[in-house]
């Protein structure tokens, strides 16, 4: 039986329950028996680092706190082995037998990924691991998540936990969004005002862009930054987990934190204040002045330090959402455009980015930018990260350029996971099923090798805490992890995926990691004539009880079956999801007038 067939069987059969793995391996071959988890084993290594042994041991202890410490009277072994002669088709082979477990990999990274699979085979408080042979290899080389630390900064320990979670699901690129209008988060020794001034803003609560702006003399006390020593610590932590960190320094737009510190780099002169989430776009300048030579001295100073700090091959320079009205209204920018023969400000932006490309190349790195860098002409060596759907990535690939697909809404993890009335405030919609079923690939007639991989993004405008960042990331990042790692079959099996997701909910509970239960909340829409409510469960097997009379429904209330006519005078709908006669998820309260609103408003 070939490996694809075995993988498909795993996806769609009862094997899902015995092997609830995310991402799905290339192949799983069940065997007879099981390896007992009674604590009487030892971990032995052959060619692997001490870190792998310690990592596996510590994670097992967290998953199985009831198991006593390993004794010298071993009843079995877990062997971690680096074997350069192993089958190059696979990153690792994991063999679980009643008497031992053998993990065979060609290199340290393969062994690390195999350990994550082994850990996933250990269910919380389980007594044994089912015997099997698993062979596995990644689909894409770029398996990324982006975390925005500018809008709300996370602690060092929170970043490390995020990396641990990424590693457990075989992500290997951490795209770190370190600068934006709401804060500068990286120490630049040659430009101290970036962290003295740009890293701090006034504190505000409330829905994004509805917050009051800063008062002229109000103290900026909310924020912070990472020192270069702290960043080195994070880089080393990630490297042990085979995660590359790609820093993003967002320019020429999204630069209000820069301009607050160095207003002379603007066209209007300022003064500027770091933005707390109030409206400013197009009315208060947040764009660097391309006509000022000092702008490029500043950028060279910053990117030179960033390049020395981060050992990976890329620097992400943003390039997105740059308002060009300030350039259009500036005499020096207009003179520059005339001198360079630019027809419009898009070509001026392209000229700017091409200068950044040379600075990045001079520092031994490659440029990545969001798909707006296509405007006015793409820089010669740029890699395009496509966020406005897939169109930008396809356009770049047609030019023979490398592409990373990171499209909104499917791969934007800061969007609503359920109805805006019951979810924390944000914008847009991407339910787990939307993310799981999305196809990020290039058209069939294009060179698939140009697609480096895929990435999910967590923008934190509406995510003030790391706990909430976890809620927004998981379980949708499970779907991205699977698309990035697993060999794609012709058709995906949503019900089987849901079973595996729910198994990982139990794992998150055991680890005290946060996640969203929104898959148990139904989608709620209006009929075409606006006279009925349509309630659609996201997953199979749920019974949705409902009321229009503002009482809280339980199992004695009616079950939704088809469109529900709206009673005269009704103003609210409550729903409660049940499965097998037991409540699951949460009771929801929807204002009927808000059913089709796409965003919460104050």
pLDDT at residue 599 above 90? no
Q: How confident is the model at residue 278 (pLDDT cuts 50, 70, 90)?
A: very high
Q: How confident is the model at residue 400 (pLDDT cuts 50, 70, 90)?
A: very high
**Nearest 5°: CA angle at 103, between 100 and 106?**
155
Give the active site residue among 254, 316, 342, 402: 254
Give the active site residue among 104, 136, 148, 180: 180
pLDDT at residue 482 above 60? yes
For the chain, domain boundaries: 3-136, 142-485, 521-594
Supply the pLDDT for residue 8.
Answer: 42
Structural domain 521-594, CATH architecture: Sandwich (2.60)
Could you give the count of Cα atoms lying within 13 Å of 236 in the half-sphere of its Cβ? 7
Instruction: Please tell me the total number of residues recorded for the chain in this structure.
Output: 602
Catalytic annotation on 152? no
According to CATH, the topology of domain 3-136 is: Chitobiase; domain 2 (3.30.379)
Q: Which of 386, 393, 431 is nearest to 408 (CA)?
A: 386
> For all residues of the chain together, what is the average pLDDT?
94
Catalytic annotation on 254? yes
pLDDT at residue 422 above 60? yes
Supply the pLDDT for residue 72.
Answer: 41
Tell me the C-alpha distance between 67 and 452, whole Å: 42
Average pLDDT value for residue range 15-24 = 87
The bridge status of strand 77-82 relative to strand 142-148 is unpaired
Could you give the count of Cα atoms lying within 13 Å of 570 in the half-sphere of its Cβ? 22
Stated pTM of the model: 0.96
Supply the pLDDT for residue 597.
Answer: 86
pLDDT tens by residue, 174-211: 999 999 999 999 999 999 999 999 999 999 999 999 99
Structural domain 142-485, CATH architecture: Alpha-Beta Barrel (3.20)
> Which residues are CB-contacts of 439 (< 8 A; sequence separation ≥ 6)?
none
Average pLDDT value for residue range 342-362 = 97
Give the active site residue among 158, 164, 321, 434: 321
pLDDT tens by residue, 41-61: 789 999 999 999 999 999 988
Average pLDDT value for residue range 326-339 = 97
Asked if 303 and 363 count as a contact pair (C-beta separation under 8 A), the reply is yes
pLDDT at residue 512 above 60? yes
pLDDT at residue 435 above 80? yes
Average pLDDT value for residue range 3-17 = 53
Number of Cβ within a 10 Å radius of residue 84: 9
Average pLDDT value for residue range 274-298 = 97
Tell me the C-alpha distance between 575 and 524, whole Å: 10
Percent of the chain with pLDDT over 70: 95
Catalytic annotation on 421? no
């Amino acid at each position: 039986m070939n490996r694809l067939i075995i993988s498909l069987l795993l996806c769609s059969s009862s094997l899902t329950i015995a092997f609830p793995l995310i991402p799905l391996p290339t192949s799983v071959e069940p065997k007879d028996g099981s390896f007992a988890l009674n604590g009487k084993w030892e971990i032995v290594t052959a060619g692997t680092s001490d870190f792998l042994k310690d990592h596996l041991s510590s994670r097992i202890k967290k998953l199985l706190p009831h198991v006593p410490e390993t004794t010298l009277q071993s009843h079995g072994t877990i062997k971690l082995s680096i074997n350069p002669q192993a089958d190059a088709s696979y990153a690792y082979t994991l063999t679980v037998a009643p008497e031992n477990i053998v993990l065979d990999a060609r290199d340290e990274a393969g062994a690390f990924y195999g350990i994550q699979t082994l850990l996933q085979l250990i269910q919380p408080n389980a007594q044994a691991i089912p015997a099997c042979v698993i062979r596995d290899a990644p689909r894409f080389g770029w398996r990324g998540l982006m975390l925005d630390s500018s809008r709300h900064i996370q602690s060092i320990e929170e970043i490390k936990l995020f990396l641990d979670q990424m590693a457990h699901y075989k992500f290997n690129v951490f795209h770190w969004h370190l600068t934006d209008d709401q804060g500068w988060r990286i120490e630049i020794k040659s430009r101290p005002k970036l962290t003295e001034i740009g890293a701090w803003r006034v504190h505000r609560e409330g829905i994004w862009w509805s917050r009051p702006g800063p008062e002229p003399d109000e103290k900026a006390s909310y924020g912070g930054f990472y020192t270069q020593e702290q960043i080195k610590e994070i880089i080393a932590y990630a490297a042990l987990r085979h995660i590359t960190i790609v820093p993003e320094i967002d320019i020429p737009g999204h630069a209000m934190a820069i301009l607050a510190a160095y207003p002379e780099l603007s066209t209007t002169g300022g003064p500027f204040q770091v933005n707390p989430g109030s409206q400013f776009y197009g009315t208060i300048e947040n764009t660097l002045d391309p006509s000022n030579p000092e702008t490029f001295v500043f950028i060279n100073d910053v990117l030179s330090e960033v390049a020395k700090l981060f050992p990976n091959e890329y620097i992400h320079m943003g390039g997105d959402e740059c308002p060009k009205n300030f350039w259009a209204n500036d005499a020096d920018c207009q003179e520059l455009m005339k001198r360079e023969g630019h027809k419009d400000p898009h070509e001026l932006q392209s000229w700017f980015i091409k200068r950044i490309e040379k600075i990045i190349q001079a520092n031994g790195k490659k440029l990545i930018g969001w798909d707006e860098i296509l405007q006015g002409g793409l820089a010669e060596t740029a890699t395009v990260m496509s966020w406005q759907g897939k169109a930008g990535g396809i356009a770049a690939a047609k030019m023979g350029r490398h592409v990373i697909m990171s499209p909104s809404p499917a791969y934007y993890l800061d969007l609503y996971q359920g109805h805006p009335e019951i979810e924390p405030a944000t914008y847009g919609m991407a339910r787990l099923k939307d993310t799981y079923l999305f196809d990020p690939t290039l058209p069939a007639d294009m060179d698939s090798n140009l697609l480096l991989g895929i990435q999910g993004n967590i923008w934190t405008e509406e995510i003030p805490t790391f706990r909430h960042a976890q809620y927004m990331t998981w379980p949708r990042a499970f779907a991205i992890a699977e698309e990035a790692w697993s060999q794609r079959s012709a058709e995906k099996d949503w019900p089987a995926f849901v079973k595996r997701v729910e198994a990982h909910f139990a794992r998150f509970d055991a680890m005290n990691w946060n996640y969203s239960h929104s898959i148990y909340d139904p989608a709620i829409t209006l009929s075409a004539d606006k006279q009925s409510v349509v309630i659609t469960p996201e997953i199979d097997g749920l019974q949705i009880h409902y009321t229009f009379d503002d009482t809280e429904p339980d199992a004695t209330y009616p079950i939704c079956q088809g469109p529900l006519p709206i009673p005269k005078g009704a103003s609210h709908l409550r729903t409660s999801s049940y499965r097998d006669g037991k409540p699951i998820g949460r009771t929801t309260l929807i204002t009927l007038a808000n059913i089709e609103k796409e965003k919460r408003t104050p």
